[in-house]
Amino acid sequence: MTERYDVLVVGAGPAGLAAAQAAASHGRRVGVIDAQARPGGQVWRHDIAKPPTRAAQAAIAAIDHVELLAGHTVIASEGHTLRTESAHGAHDLEYSALILATGARELLLPFPGWTLPGVTGAGGLQALVKQGWPITGKRVIVAGSGPLLLAAADSLRTHGAQLLGIHEQAPARTMAAFTAQLWRWPERAMQALGLRARLASVPYRFGSHVRAAFGRETLEAVEIVGPHGVQRVACDHLAVGYGLVPDTGLARLLGCALQDGAVHPGVRVDSFGRTSVTHVFAAGEACGIGGLAVARIEGAIAGHAAAGDDASATALLRRRTRARRFSGLLARSFALVPHLHALATPQTTVCRCEDVPLGALDDFSDTRAARLASRCGMGACQGRICGSALAELGRFMPAGSGRPPLFPARLDSLAASAGDLSVTADC
């Protein structure tokens, strides 16, 4: 049976919630798809230790008249229909307009020891502890780059972690220049000051990064390089992330054009969020990393435009422009220093799913040849981790087009797709 919606939104994070609210305000039948059991996305992910923020509560309450399809994963598409899978089987969802609010993924860079149990992404460990992963009393180092480090560290502290330090790769002078410009965005300045105040007892080092991790069966220590040399620190967990990259898998499957010239391109859209595919819109991090404020504004713009109200969308454009200026400042201030790209040795595993070392890719100049010969990117994550890492290292660019299924799916869901939705093997 096929369900039909005037506007279908993929992603129940801040951008998706704002898009759904805006579209529904015009009397449209709106559905919101999300793989998680609860709305909120990564930013507003349910936390067992504390209630959601007032902003999150308000955004979620505002879609109480919208159909939330939680626990649904998009696996294929044909025409104006998405095939999703949930615990109850496969579902076909037809739409007149589609809004992609698929968010972003964490950028991880390989270094010796990064595959040890106990080493995770900064946002990844934050998500785990919010859902009950035991962290109380554990010695944790947070490292990498960007504002996510402070947010992750704050969550870890709330859940009882013993934070040994936060290590930001950007130099101190760059961070000083960034801080000096925050007065232009008072709300962001207050958020930053609040985080720093709550983490005042935790060492916060600039121009500092993890060079290697050590341990026999699990993480035991890390080696940190900073302005004052190299130190080895014993720890139980390392949460390391180098920012975010747009999640464009579904956009590529649908044939949406991506931005030109970017290492990690977002979906190319016009001022109203329209993509290169008719009746498909995109908003938020999928269009380029911009943060919570950008996601909410762009979601609302796309929601109004998808419902046919260009006037309401136009009224938000000035706010969007100002919010995107801040995202540009973030990108410049937290740009990765070149030596991070040289941390991995030829023996360092780059594809964790298929145990492919970096050196095994030296003889290939394109993604397809490397995948066929080494199986790099052909494991469970389908290149979501190693693909972004290799692009950042300048080795290969991500594939030009997505292929279904977007995520591992049950055989009966794939069989149901065979007759009407295109599902092919990725090779």
277-303 pLDDT tens trace: 999 999 999 999 999 999 999 999 999
Residues 210 and 174 in one domain: yes
Per the structure, the complete domain to which residue 322 belongs is given by 3-105+245-332
Are the CB atoms for 215 and 223 separated by under 8 Å? no
The last residue of a domain, from among 220, 241, 262: 241
Number of domains in the chain: 3
- pLDDT at 249 exceeding the cut of 70: yes
Assess if residue 389 is contained within a domain: yes
Residues 194 and 142 in one domain: yes
The last residue of a domain, from among 215, 241, 267: 241
The first and second tokens of residue 43, run together, are: 């930013």
* CB atoms near residue 182 (< 10 Å): 17
Residues 294 and 326 in one domain: yes
The first and second tokens of residue 413, run together, are: 């869901």
Residues 184 and 289 in one domain: no
Q: Give the model's pLDDT for residue 420.
A: 54
- pLDDT at 369 exceeding the cut of 90: no
Residues 234 and 115 in one domain: yes
User: What is this structure's pTM?
Assistant: 0.93
Q: Give the model's pLDDT for residue 417.
A: 57
Assess if residue 75 is contained within a domain: yes
Q: What 8-state DSSP symbol labels residue 335? A: P
Residues 289 and 371 in one domain: no
Q: Give the model's pLDDT for residue 395.
A: 85
The last residue of a domain, from among 191, 222, 241: 241
Type of residue found at 375: R
pLDDT (tens digit, 9 = 90+) per residue, 146-185?
Answer: 999 999 999 999 999 999 999 999 999 999 999 999 999 8
Q: What is the CATH number of the domain that holds 234?
A: 3.50.50.60
In percent, the amount of the chain with pLDDT more than 90 equals 79
Residues 270 and 257 in one domain: yes
Across 61-154, the runs of DSSP E, i.e. the strands, are: 67-70, 73-78, 81-86, 89-100, 104-106, 119-120, 139-144
CA distances from 117 to 89, 125, 137, 218, 227 (A): 33, 12, 17, 5, 28
Type of residue found at 305: A
Assess if residue 280 is contained within a domain: yes
Residue in the structure block whose two tokens are 């454009």 = 317
The residues, ordered by sequence, that sit 6+ positions from 85 with a Cβ below 8 Å of its Cβ are: 72, 73, 75, 91, 409, 410, 413
- pLDDT at 250 exceeding the cut of 80: yes
* CB atoms near residue 270 (< 10 Å): 10
Assess if residue 426 is contained within a domain: no
pLDDT (tens digit, 9 = 90+) per residue, 313-322?
Answer: 999 999 999 9
Q: Give the model's pLDDT for residue 400.
A: 46
Assess if residue 284 is contained within a domain: yes
Assess if residue 419 is contained within a domain: no
Residue in the structure block whose two tokens are 């007759």 = 419
Q: Give the model's pLDDT for residue 411.
A: 82
| Burial per residue of 271-289, b for 16 or more beta-carbon CB atoms within 10 angstroms, e otherwise | ebbbbebeebbbbbbbbbb
* CB atoms near residue 416 (< 10 Å): 20
Q: Pairing between strand 119-120 and 67-70?
A: unpaired
Mean pLDDT of 128-156: 96
Element of type H or E holding 55:
helix 54-61
Residues 216 and 300 in one domain: no
Residues 287 and 371 in one domain: no
Assess if residue 291 is contained within a domain: yes
Residues 153 and 57 in one domain: no
Q: Give the model's pLDDT for residue 97.
A: 98
Residues 174 and 287 in one domain: no
**Helix H segments across 119-276?**
122-130, 148-158, 172-180, 186-198, 249-254
Residues 262 and 384 in one domain: no
Type of residue found at 365: S
Three-state SS at 6:
strand
In percent, the amount of the chain with pLDDT more than 70 equals 96
- pLDDT at 423 exceeding the cut of 90: no
Assess if residue 407 is contained within a domain: no
